[in-house]
Structure 1
Amino acid sequence: MSVATDASPALGRRTTRVSLDGLRKTFAGSAAPAIQHLDLNTVEGEFISLLGPSGCGKTTTLRCVAGFEFPDQGRVRLNDEDITDLPPEKRDIGMVFQNYALFPHLTVARNLAFGLEMRGVGKADMKRRIDEVLAMVQLTTMAERYPRQLSGGQQQRVALARALVIEPRLLLLDEPLANLDAVLREDMRVFIRELQKRVGITTLYVTHDQAEAMVMSDRVAVMLGGRLLQFDVPEAIYLRPRSIEVARFIGRSNLIEGRVEGMTDAAGPYPTYRIRTPLGDVPACYDQPLASGQAVHVTIRPEAIRFQNDGPYTGHVQATYFLGSTVEHTVQCAGGQSLLVQTAPSQRMDAGVTAAFAFDPGHAWIVAADA
């Protein structure tokens, strides 16, 4: 599924920066705040994912931007305009909800027309916008159908079209793919991302799905417990986590406790330290100064470890799990350290054997213990 490219490029070409400054929100009856002093700033045209588990504050953050919730503290700005206290209808924001919220008694075209009528858009301009956005989401032939006559993916595209047809300065999406099956969800990830790039609209996207966030986003904001833990490009979130919480939450990771022994002379984009661990001395990278003797954790992704006959580390393979394109191994090492090792099926090791393994220094990242 791809985005139509023959529609007029005029729709939605508005550049917006989002600034969230010190947002805090506590709901009545709750001891803990839903959002704790949240700061986040985008650039124009970015696709930003708010990623985290249920209850982390991501949807509350989105609702504060939309105007459906009002923060106890902090400000919401679009460009230089403070919109914190404006009602939703005054914010000029398009939003797509998880359940799509389409009007069941209105056709696709009438669903799109509703927001334009509320804004007093003339009939000629209204028809132009509706035709354009329907072509963009490949639903021109569905204009006179009702939502009940559409598939889940088609309803999703109607919801997107309805949000875009008002030509908002910001697009908000609250877990819009949660109700779709796995294959359609993957197709819609690509469709939404291509559409967002073409329209060029700044987008905030709420999801608990890590793959969605990694595939779709320019930057990812990882949230846990109402706090923003890390805001960076997907590669950095995955390979260079800034806290143990992020390392544990994003994907599968091996966390190894250790202490800094010193630096090595290994070449690379980041300084390489020698870390004393239960496995032995481990080379690992970091981009900030560390003191000798400092307690740290080293994080290594399972796919970065390879079995190698002359590898410097050894362990006992306790179990193997075939996952289709990969095989996951549980390896018990010295000092009680357990590791996950993920290989191609052709490199599978049988349970019960002792195996040597290795990894490149650039694939081991240090997380300071006090991060």
Structure 2
Amino acid sequence: MPRWLSLASVSAFINVCCIILLCMNLIQNNVSIHERAIRQSVVVTQDKDDPPVVLSANGSLRGSVSSDNTMAAVSMAIPRGKAVALPSVRITEEEEKNIERSFYGGKGDKPHLGGFTEFDPMGVSPSLWKYMITYLGIKSLLDVGCGRGISTSWFITHGLEFVQCAEGSHDAVMQSIVPNVKEHVVEHDFSRGSWWPDRTVDAAWAVEFTEHVGRNYQPNYITAFRKAALIFVTHSNWGGWHHVEVHNDDWWRVRWEAAGFVYSEYLTKSARDISSKDSGLKNLTLDMKPDQRYFVGQHIQLNIQVFINPMVASLPEHAHLFAEHGCFGGQKVGNVDCSVLQKKGQALTPLPESFKPLILTDDMDKEWLDLIKHFNTTGAGRPIKGAAKSG
């Protein structure tokens, strides 16, 4: 053996190389195990009317997704490619007769769908929606489980650049009030597979939705959440139509953090506080009575949580978010648009127009109110103690 091989430095170098090779082998094995686990965790449900679903050679799901994108669909990555919507499978008239829906919509849908009413004031909050646009700078939004489109139509009528709704109930889609339904509404049943929008969005809005979908199907709509920078999501604390996931704040916070989303205490508290301003509204529909209280936005005030998805929020196309003005206008005025002070001679550089929030108008409010004003709120209100009865 050559004498130089016996040198301590050479021996140490050989040992280091062996350790590096061993580590590389362990990492490769762990990656393979992780990929195999992900492929096994993909939620695939088959109905007799579903398109064929097969796994490709590399484990990617085909059928409900048009690209080899299984890894992105169930990992923390942003889903890529085009997802194929899977509409709800209709039931027969005979099957419908065996379902007692009471006042809930969903006729012709399977029992896990529907659950919407003509108008539920507890799930709306114009004050919070305006805050989302004017302060947070939201310009694009995905509405997950939008029902008849009450919230979706608000965002459309208030000028967002992109608004899309994903709704599983065919009955709800057929009764939708959303302008240009075909453009803005996608009928997709998340119990049949994953779906996500073609582009990333500033925010996902999912109010009165998560309690209706079992944990075994959650990965299917989490893919939609992964396309959003901010996620505004509520849950239920009590029973209701197909409420199969009723949990408290802590449970849901842990659930979404486990999925990789970052809980924001500040945004959650802000959303709840701001939505409480709408509690006493009585001017949303024509049949709202002054001696009744309608608890407008109650589901939001009690249960909304806001999460940040850093994978999307960090992208350049969402850098306009958090649109508070940055130039100090004085103790009484607070922050203002830098262009205001620049016009007064201060050496300040204004932001590009694309970084400024959308401007809202009273006409936008009227357009939305015209869409909902004839809805029936009978039964949604509660008498106010001591108030004189109307009419």
Normalization by structure 2: what TM-score? Answer: 0.22
Q: Which has the higher helix share?
A: 2
Computing the radius of gyration from Cα coordinates, the structure with the larger value is 2
Q: Which has the higher strand share?
A: 1
